[in-house]
Chains A and B, each alone.
Chain A
Amino acid sequence: MSLAFDFSQTPSFFRDETFRGDFTFENSPEAIHRFPFPFDRDQYMYAVNIEQHMPGPPKSATVFPIDIDEHYVAEMADRAKVLADDPLRCQSLPHMITAEWDLLELLMTSMARDYPEWFSLERDGARWHWINRPLGIDQRFTFGDAATLPHGPMEYITRQCQGDFCLLDQRDDNLWLDAGIVTSQADWSLDFDLGMNFIEWHGPVPRAHDMGIFDRALKFLLNLQIGRPIRRLNWTMTINPRLDTSPENYHRWGIDRTTVTPENVGDKVHLRVELQALWRLPRSNAIVFSIRCYLIKMRELVSVPKWGRRLHRVLRDLPDDLADYKGMTHYRATTLDYLSRHDDGAPTSPGFFPD
């Protein structure tokens, strides 16, 4: 796949924008409206916030199991750049090849079913024909034969699907992070965490272990059933619309956290929400964990009055250990200052959605 996407050739729905360098990323009014705002009340604490991955309202981020939006083409270009610089962002232990094919099937069938104008999949036994119009890809291959694709099956399809993906092997009553592609992560390293189990890779998270959250969540996941996917939301904040906030590159992007001023806070500070979904896979009995990242600028967020009020209250009352873990120390006060001007103290309605 060429690294330089030609936006003039793609349907105009997709934005021509960047997540590095000049950071031209923005949300359209429609994208702001469908943003998966993660707070259903005015405060936040860790919880086992898992629900069935059921279709949400029309046009929402959860209307389909796999969400493709206006940032699709630009995000895939950013992923290609990350992988070109650092191949260790995509790794798979040898026993995960069946799970890779399971993932390819899940993504291709979902994308072709839910976005027929962009993707199509024809299957004749093991002979498959995949068309991706936005990225200009037309590929015939044999399902189960990795030699018929230009990359391994997981890398092949996830270079064409928004979100990071992890494949978890289930054994010894635990889940093992044995494969994944991770190029838009909130400061964790696939290369470092590869081969760890659920409790180990969550090691650095404060509080949640003692609250019993990981023990309960793991128990739930071990019983995940085929055809009954689940989802949860996680969030942090990111300076500049940078997808690749990896530990690998932290010595380059960490300095951004010191650049927030009262003048630029509305454009520079982003709420970063991860829509995480989990599916049991049919052949391998592995679990796929998708981490779909959504960014929204403070300026965009306060255009929904309820969200501006609520985020102000959540950030103001967030315990310091959580704020430190999320890396907000340097710019929390400036951000609060900005948000406080969008919080008139009026009550907010329950639930995630705008009033």
Chain B
Amino acid sequence: MSEIKSRPIWGKLEPAEQAAAHLVCAEGRGIEAVRAGFGGRDGLLAQATIVHMAPIGAGKPEGLGGAAYHPHPSRATALTAFRGHLARAKMGTQVHLAGSEAFLNEATTVASACGVVGDGLTTELCGPATRRVQCVHCKGMMDEVAVSPLACSHCGVNLTVRDHYSRRLGAFMGVCVDAEAPGVLPAASRL
């Protein structure tokens, strides 16, 4: 994966003992990485605010100690809340993001727009190894692509997924796979 130079390198959540506070934004199962990262350290969890994209009515997950927990029903609402907490975070707050690549991509953009970079930010990729793909021909986006080649769900062109990633679009590039031999497709393989 790391040989794709344009793809961001995600790491592990590493809450620092010396941070003044912790602001977490997690998507779905990303909360498991949060639990593992904080490792039940009550001192750190007591200073933590957790914004979680989770179904309404789902209670606070186990193992998060005294952290303030805020569930939000969709990615958009979770990121809006995250932006709000970020704007009011105190100096020295460390930010932690966990979720799918598309989620991490959007959330890091929010964080860097607020000046959170370098050691002030830790990230962890969680969830299925699918890719968000943009068809370079019609510009249509496809979420959770697991297999290449695939037919574009917008324009129908047969696409292969190139190892080229745009952070701005939050997507890999899909390019016509049979332009030089119409109808001849390579065997499908998992991404």
Contact = CB atoms under 8 A, between A and B. Distances in A.
Partners in one complex: yes
Interface of A: 88, 189, 191-196, 199-204, 209, 247-255, 257-258, 330
B166 interface: yes
B179 interface: yes
Contacts of B181: 258
Chain B interface size range: 20 to 34
Contacts of A250: 136-137, 175-176, 179
13 contacts: A191-B139, A192-B173, A193-B166, A195-B167, A196-B6, A196-B166, A200-B5, A200-B6, A203-B7, A209-B5, A247-B175, A250-B176, A258-B181
A207 B180 CA distance: 25
B68 interface: no
B36 to A, nearest CB: 30
Nearest to B162: A204
B169 interface: yes
Contacts of A192: 134, 136, 164, 166, 169, 173
Interface of B: 4-7, 134, 136-137, 139, 157, 162-169, 173, 175-176, 179-182
Given A250-B179, A257-B180, A189 B5 contact: no
Contacts of B5: 199-200, 202-203, 209
A248 B168 CA distance: 18
Contacts of A251: 137, 157, 176, 179
Contacts of A255: 179-180, 182
Nearest to B8: A200
Contacts of A193: 166
Contacts of B166: 192-196
B3 to A, nearest CB: 9
Contact of A254 (B136, B139, B169, B176): B176
Contacts of A253: 179
Residue picked from B6, B163, B173, most chain A C-beta under 10 Å: B6
